[in-house]
Amino acid sequence: MSYTQKSRLLEVAITFVVLFNYLQAVLSMTPEAQMDPSLASGLLIKLVIQTVVMLVVMHSILAAFNSKYANRAKDEREQAIALKAKSVSLFILQLGVVNAVFALLVNTVYPIPMSPVHQLVIAALLSEIIGGAVEVWLLQRG
């Protein structure tokens, strides 16, 4: 497994943990609390801090064990694969944005019982996870 693969796999795992924690926090809220902007922004700040800290710590550990490859840039094949994965990721994000905008327009939370802001954040995290998984799979396939 190449360093890029390990690194992306780690990012996917961290994003998955962050998404799980976020979903747990949002689903435990009442519908009124979900619409509260101060609670939503507090949750977002927590999400950002949690992600940054976990990424820095895990990347430092990974780089310490793979010092030879840690500072090397992606090669042309890895860049091409990253581009493919990014297009998948952006498609998922687009779906999430359209869904959130639709929920805002019709002023209802159908089909997911969650405020549009949270739907948007979850779509962003999901797009990152799916994009990362596609990249790891393409790197593994060769």
Partner 1 sequence: MAKLAISNSIRTLRFQHDEMTQQQLADAVGVTRQTIAAIEAARYSPSLEVAFKIAVVFNQPLEKIFQYKQ
- Per CB under 8 A, residues contacting partner 1 are 2-5, 75-78, 139, 141-142
Nearer to partner 1, 57 or 80 (CB): 80
Supply the minimum distance, in Å, between the C-beta of residue 59 and partner 1: 18
Q: Residue 138 Cβ, how far from partner 1 at the closest point, in Å? A: 10
Pick 4 or 51: Cβ nearer partner 1: 4
How far apart are CB 77 and partner 1 at their closest, in Å? Answer: 4
Query: What is the Cα–Cα distance from 95 to 104, expressed in whole angstroms?
Result: 14
Burial class (CB in 10 A: 0-12, 13-18, 19+), 45: exposed
Q: Which lies closer to partner 1 via its Cβ, residue 108 or residue 140? A: 140
**Torsion angle, alpha carbons of 84, 87, 91, 94, to 10:** 160
If the CB atoms of residues 4 and 119 are measured against partner 1, the closer one turns out to be: 4
Instruction: Return the amino acid letter for 140.
Output: Q
Q: How far apart (Å, rounded) are the C-alpha atoms in residues 140 and 122?
A: 27
Q: What angle do CA 22, 128, 41 make, to 5 degrees?
A: 35
Minimum gap (Å) between residue 95 Cβ and partner 1: 27
